[in-house]
Amino acid sequence: MHKIDHIAIAVNSLATSIPLFEKLLDTPCYRVEEVASEKVKTAFFQSGESKIELLEGMDPEGVISKFIHKKGEGIHHIAFAVMDIHEKIKELKEKGFEFINETPKKGADNKWIVFLHPKCTNGVLIELCQEIS
Q: Which residues bind Zn ion (CB under 5 A)?
A: 8, 79, 127
- Give the SS3 label for residue 116: strand
Distance CA 36, CA 113 (A): 15
Which residues on neighbouring strands pair with residue 2, listed in sequence order? none
Is 5 or 92 the residue whose CB approaches Zn ion more closely? 5
* Minimum gap (Å) between residue 53 Cβ and Zn ion: 5
CB 79, min distance to Zn ion, A: 4
Least Å from the CB of residue 36 to Zn ion = 16
Residue 10 or residue 92: which is nearer to Zn ion going by CB?
10
Residue among 96 and 125 whose Cβ is closer to Zn ion: 125
First-to-last alpha carbon distance for the chain, in angstroms, is 18
CA atoms lying within 13 Å on the CB side of residue 35:
23
Shortest gap between Cβ of 52 and Zn ion (angstroms)?
Answer: 10
Nearer to Zn ion, 43 or 96 (CB): 43
Q: Which one, of 76, 77, 81, 126, lies nearest residue 100 by Cα? A: 126
